[in-house]
Chain A
Amino acid sequence: MEDPTVTTTAQEAPAGNWNRDQLRQAALVKISKFEALANKGLIMIAGFLAISIAALRDFDFLPSVPLSVLAFLGPPPSANMISAALVFYCFSAIILILAKMMSGSNKYGGLAHLGYLSGFYLFYHFAAAMERNFWAVFAAGMTILALEEYHLWIYCAEEIRKERETLAELGGGNGKAPNFKR
């Protein structure tokens, strides 16, 4: 999931003469956007913790699903099948995040992971196997979201550093657009 509000510095290299203040202002706006983006992962982790607390109580505060809906959905998969899917998902997600780290991509998949992890909680809930498997989903979620957050944080820290360098260049510049390519 790419954040459309934040673009890289190279993409926004202005072509003509720019007012130095405008450039400085643009750099400051980008810094604040990257700072906000870096906190996005923490919001996802907080959301996951909230869902986990609900799952720990086996969603006892939610109304029961009507029998007709349960009959329509059919029997849930066995706990072993859900566990096998969880291992496969966890492995794939970690590999994909490490691959994103290697490529220096700015894509963030926290929201999608939140959805998948909630799905696992629901499957275990309907399979009546939440008590035995709660900590496995929790550990998988914390690992995946922590890696995503670390990746995003490192990416944003790097971009903020670049913008600060740009600001430093603008401090002694001639008012022309600085070279954003690094």
Chain B
Amino acid sequence: MLRSLSAKAIVPVAVAVTGFVVVCCILLYSVMKTDMTNDATVQATNLANTIVKSTRYAMLKSDRETLSNIIDNIGGQHGVETVRIFNKKGLIMVSKDHAEVGQFVDKKTAGCIGCHAGAVPKASFRAMEQARTFTNARGSAVLAITAPVYNEPECFNADCHFHPPEQKVLGTLDIGLDQAPLISALGVMRNRMTIFSLMILVLTVGGVAALLRRNVFMPIKSLSNFTEKVVHGTIGQDFPRCGGEIEGIASNVRTIAEELNKAKTELDKR
């Protein structure tokens, strides 16, 4: 079957088009997924920085009640899985989950180890280094951002505060955002690309197959039937009317057969 004329014409085209479209779709999806994930990370980092700025005054005044209220309100937003602020030692000062207030975070976990790997923790990092992803207890994918709370002149010059100017980082805000909307958007995009690719494949391979069948395979089949009749001595008028080279071949075969018939008839008469 693979050695037939139609297979020889269609299989390479089908394999080439299918393979190339699949490769392009996978790469395109990969690039778009990376871009969308990076955008989500940048937006989450901006949100974390906004929260740090919003809570700055409450922290400066050491107003725990206001700070806790702000964190509770932010934590109540749809899509915010975790939000907490811990000090330089890792002691959780305020959190959406009130049960974890007063506990220490593990510096060896993902998101902390990036800065705490060496003897001296890093005091600054790029936006992408602030992000980590994990799956929480409910099975949801979470994008978490750690935003440092830096020591500023207003902090170490205030009368009530005790942070020395040498201390660069006072604490860290940790916020975890549900990635379900991003995953859902990626899934929709993947499905659309799959449908689009299938439509391209059907159109391309189907189009090539239909045109080859109409213009090549059917005329060749007619020619084959016609020559078979000629071989068996039937020279009818029904040679293939398909135009082009194939009709020319049919006409030539018919002429040859007629000449042979004439010669044979003359020989028989003698």
Contact = CB atoms under 8 A, between A and B. Distances in A.
B16 A154 contact: no
Nearest to A89: B23
A140 B15 CA distance: 11
Interface stretch (A12-20, A33-41, A48-56, A143-151): A143-151
B11 A90 contact: no
Interface stretch (B28-36, B80-88, B147-155, B211-219): B28-36
A154 B8 contact: yes
Given A101-B12, A150-B12, A150-B15, A143 B23 contact: yes
Contacts of B2: 150, 153
Interface stretch (A105-113, A129-137, A168-176): A129-137
B105 interface: no
Chain A interface residue bracket vs B? 20 to 34
Interface stretch (A58-66, A69-77, A79-87): A79-87
Nearest to A143: B19
A79 B30 CA distance: 10
The B interface, classified by DSSP as helix, strand, loop or mixed, is helix
A98 to B, nearest CB: 6
B3 A144 contact: no
Contacts of B19: 90, 94, 139-140, 142-144, 146-147
B29 to A, nearest CB: 9
B8 A91 contact: no
B31 A139 contact: no
A157 interface: yes
Interface string B127-159: 000000000000000000000000000000000
A87 B23 contact: yes
B12 to A, nearest CB: 6
Given A143-B20, A154-B3, A83 B12 contact: no
Contact of B27 (A83, A142, A157): A83
Given A94-B16, A98-B12, A143-B16, A79 B34 contact: yes
User: What is the interface residue range for chain B against chain A?
Assistant: 10 to 19
A97 to B, nearest CB: 8
Contact of B26 (A94, A97, A135): A135
Contacts of A91: 20
Interface of A: 79-80, 83, 86-87, 90-91, 94, 97-98, 101, 132-133, 135-136, 139-140, 142-144, 146-147, 150-151, 153-154, 157
B170 interface: no
Contact of A94 (B3, B11, B20, B27): B20
A83 B31 contact: yes
A86 B15 contact: no
Given A94-B16, A94-B20, A146-B15, A139 B34 contact: no
Contact of B22 (A80, A83, A139): A139
Given A135-B26, A143-B16, A151-B12, 11 more contacts: A83-B30, A83-B31, A86-B23, A86-B27, A90-B20, A98-B16, A140-B19, A146-B19, A147-B19, A150-B11, A157-B3
A161 B16 CA distance: 26
